Amino acid sequence: MSAILFVILIPILLHLMLTTLMKNVFINSLDNIPYETWAFPGVILLICIMSAYAVLYRDLFDLRIHKKSFISITLAPYTKFYLVFGFLLSAIIESLIYGVLSMIILSLLLSQQLELHAYFAIPVYGSIFLLLFGNLTLTLSILTERITTFISITIILFFFMIFGTGILFEFEFYPRMLGMILSYNPFSLIISELRGLVFLKQINWVWIVIPVLTGLGWTWINGLLIKRSLKQ
Amino acid sequence: MEASITLKKVGKLVGDKTILANLTFGIEKGSLVAIIGDNEAGKSMLLRVIAGIEYQEYGQIFINGLDSQKRRNEAMLSVGFVPHELDLDPWLTLEENIRFIGMLYRESMETINTRMVQLSRELHITTFLQKMVKDISPGIIKKGMIIRALIHNPDILILDDPTAFMDAESYRQTWDMLLRYKKEKTIVYVSQSLQEVEEAHDRILVLEDGKIALDGSLDRLLGSTFEYHQFQIEFEELSDELFNKLAKLPKVKNPSRIGDSIHFYGQQRGVFFEVLNAAASSVMKDIRVKKLGLQDLMDAKYAKDGIH
């Protein structure tokens, strides 16, 4: 029941809160795309990260610190990289399912429909974005032992995801230097590339490969961190 | 006999505190080994280190001849572990919890289901398999944890307080099952219940400050330490003269006096009759004879000082 509410209500609420409000402030993007349409991929990714965050919090923090069932899982005959990658993959798949369902619901509310290729590009690029975000959540889950620390850092990360990745706001509105620095972080690169493909039909493979390699490297580092944290 | 688990100079530190110190011993295949000791003696840590949950800072552990650190993945296939605390995922059913671990060990679904049904029948928890763990009592969850540890059919079963949270009936069912597996599996467990250890063991390891203080079967431990009986005679009036007379009998050990009662130890029951003869002229109200057990062994006074 809560899952159905999550799938239906969250996209609608986000749409109402963000796009209907913000489109009065930002009417069009700098590429002259209506804000509501421009923000659409970002809103879907936002829904995906909410889902991934909940899944990874449960698996790597709650089940490790509170319920302890994570320990039994680590006894299985797999390397820690394999385990971390398994957790990430399941979180990405689960979140993409939420994302696709939200995309279907939100597309009904859009005044200007996206082209068909956009609906395929969002899940593909979304999975790279989720690989990065999942690793960020994993690192946080592994390195913190207390729920208070976890929540405090989560709030900071939430603001970073909203304002520091270009998910809802263009970096051109930021001070030039800050906007430039933020635009080169792997999260921003993949969102920027997604919008490039959806709205301009452009692909820059270098900016796609960098986030992918960053995500895989980060997964390997998380494997080492979990090994160190568990003292195994 | 072939060794199932071998520890060579194993040491474990937590911060700068030594929890396990230079432990060297082997556990034979198919044996039932109980580990006892005071709180903070290092019992649970020893199990965690053997089970591969935490690495040891010093020494080596071999599981069926495989170095548990260098060939961890292969070694861990032979081990099933049941921790002390309840650690099943509360938001899954008992069955889902068990099945998930079985799948992680690459067992086929058919094998998992067959084993799960068989083990849950043996432990009488078939009706709970479909229930969410959050809705099940701790004793049943503990049984579920034992099934989870056995689902990949390990050679070695490591249990931290296996019957914790269980009622008398569950306790009996669990030990009935574990004793049936005894010959085909090596079982190592920690228990706070000395009665449980007295009833189920081939060998007892007594841990003290991270070191093995005593090692052997109960009979052997009691025999090597003190094969004594404990006697108590309550008189109507125990005079100093009578107490001194009885205390000086050659076979009477560690005599003490509580009110009008004399309390002493003796190696054979015969000493009791010698005391009775010596005290025949006095009026006796009560007599008690008790063979020493694990509780007495664990009593710090006797474990450390012995009976002189």
Q: Could you read off the pLDDT of A124-182 as tens digits, one per residue? A: 999 999 999 999 999 999 999 899 999 999 999 999 999 999 998 888 888 889 999 99
Tell me: pLDDT of A24 over 80. no
Please report where in the chains the tokens 């040491």 appear, as a residue: B11
Residues B103, B175: one domain? yes
Instruction: Give domain status of residue B300, yes or no.
Output: no
Residues B82, B171: one domain? yes
Residues B126, B177: one domain? yes
What pLDDT does residue B182 have? 86
Instruction: Give domain status of residue B71, yes or no.
Output: yes
Mean pLDDT of chain A: 89
The CATH number for B118's domain is: 3.40.50.300
Q: Do B76 and A72 touch (CB under 8 A)?
A: no
Q: Which of B223, B253, B278 is the last residue of a domain?
A: B223
How many angstroms away from the CA of A86 is the closest CA of chain B? Answer: 11
The residue segments making up the domain with residue A165 are: 2-230
What pLDDT does residue B308 have? 47
Q: Do B89 and A67 touch (CB under 8 A)?
A: yes
Instruction: Calculate what percentage of chain B has a pLDDT beyond 90.
Output: 57
Instruction: Calculate what percentage of chain A has a pLDDT beyond 90.
Output: 53
Residues B56, B18: one domain? yes
- Give me the number of domains chain B comprises: 2
* Count helices and strands in chain B by DSSP H and E runs: 12, 14
What pLDDT does residue B109 have? 95
Residues of B with CB under 8 A from a CB of A: 51-55, 72-74, 76-77, 79, 81, 83, 85, 87-90, 97, 101, 104-105, 148
Residues B208, B266: one domain? no
Q: Which of B164, B191, B223 is the last residue of a domain?
A: B223
Residues B210, B264: one domain? no
Torsion of CA B61, B65, B68, B72, to 10 degrees: 180
What are the tens digits of pLDDT across the range B258-299? 899 998 888 776 788 888 888 888 899 998 887 777 777 776
Instruction: Give domain status of residue B304, yes or no.
Output: no
Instruction: Give domain status of residue B146, yes or no.
Output: yes
What pLDDT does residue B199 have? 85
Predicted TM-score of the model (pTM): 0.80
The residue segments making up the domain with residue B117 are: 3-223
Question: Could you give the CA distance from residue A7 to residue A159 in angstroms, rounded to a whole number?
Answer: 23
What are the tens digits of pLDDT across the range B95-146? 999 999 999 999 999 999 999 999 999 999 999 999 999 999 999 999 999 9
Question: Could you give the CA distance from residue A138 to residue A81 in angstroms, rounded to a whole number?
Answer: 12
Tell me: pLDDT of B304 over 60. no
Question: Could you give the CA distance from residue A126 to residue A198 in angstroms, rounded to a whole number?
Answer: 12
Tell me: pLDDT of B45 over 80. yes
What pLDDT does residue A70 have? 86
Residues B85, B121: one domain? yes
Instruction: Give domain status of residue B302, yes or no.
Output: no
Residues B80, B209: one domain? yes
Q: Is residue A134 within 8 Å of A92, Cβ to Cβ?
A: yes
Question: Could you give the CA distance from residue A24 to residue A4 in angstroms, rounded to a whole number?
Answer: 30
What pLDDT does residue B250 have? 85
What pLDDT does residue B301 have? 45
- Give me the number of domains chain A comprises: 1
B238-276 in b/e form (b: 16+ CB < 10 A) is beeebbeebbebeebbbbeeeebbbebbbeeeebbebbe
Q: Do A71 and B77 touch (CB under 8 A)?
A: no
Tell me: pLDDT of B81 over 90. yes
Inter-chain Cβ pairs, chain A and chain B, closer than 8 A? 51
What pLDDT does residue B229 have? 77
**What is the average per-residue pLDDT within A80-101?**
93
Sort out which chain B residues have CB atoms less than 8 A from A73's CB and list them. 101, 104
For residue A159, give every residue at least 6 positions away whose Cβ sits within 8 Å of its Cβ, in sequence order, or none. Answer: none
Q: Which of B166, B190, B223 is the last residue of a domain?
A: B223
What pLDDT does residue B303 have? 46
How many angstroms away from the CA of A71 is the closest CA of chain B? Answer: 7
